[in-house]
Amino acid sequence: MTTMTIFGGSGYAGSHIVEAAVVRGLEVTSITRSESAEQMAGVHYRTGSILDAADRAAALQGADVVIVAVSPRGEMAGQVRPAVAALAREAAEAGVRLGVIGGAGSLLASEDGPRLVDTPAFDEEYKPEALEMGEVLDDLRVSPESLDWFLVSPAGDFGPWVAGEYTGEYRIGGDVLLTDEAGRSAIGGADFGVAVVDEIEEPAHHRARFTVAY
């Protein structure tokens, strides 16, 4: 049985990943800074923080993969990048695979185009966290070869406002934003969670970023 630990398992992305993992039969531990109000059967819940070295060590203990689904907003702004860098070093030493949930901002608008975060249309409110997650990706790309990592960028439209019903269908891309025939880029939470668990169970991206969209 695959053992997964996730930081931020109660957030929008994290909760959908946890649900998909439990349905698939993974052994799941969710670590959150405060006790999760809604808890799923079959999940081990702990309080802790990616900022704490002891909590990171506990997350790695016995895990096949550790997922980071923590956003650098609010009091976490500026702290996620160094925390992921520390966890990456520790995961490499422990031989544990590392998965990071990034934003869409670091995706390219087109094959030869700028990053979404660098385009005029990108919302200024979300620019700081998009830039920090872009730096997380940069750090992972120059990490030691001993670290097996992947980073998943959701589609441009991703969150509670997107219909989250499970469809069982999604497309995978690389560094360029995926759009449909109407030019929309979206993915629901349930399908995003399944896509992440698919990558955990059948690894296809090693030391690489990929994106998921309808």
**β-strands 208-213, 65-68: how paired?**
unpaired
The DSSP bridge partners found for residue 153 are 211
Average confidence score pLDDT of the chain: 96
Q: Find out if CATH 3.30.1330.10 is the number for domain 3-213.
A: no
Does the structure show a pLDDT above 70 at 164? no
Q: Each residue of 41-84: pLDDT tens digit?
A: 999 999 999 999 999 999 999 999 999 999 999 999 999 999 99
Q: What is the pTM of this model?
A: 0.96
Residue 49 belongs to what H/E stretch? none
Cα–Cα distance, 185 to 98 (Å, whole number): 26
pLDDT of residue 118 exceeding 90, the answer is yes
Cβ atoms of 18 and 36 closer than 8 Å = no
Would you say 27 and 13 are in contact if contact means Cβ atoms under 8 Å apart? no
Query: Strand locations in 122-192, DSSP E?
Result: 149-154, 171-173
Q: Do 197 and 13 form a contact (C-beta atoms < 8 A)?
A: no
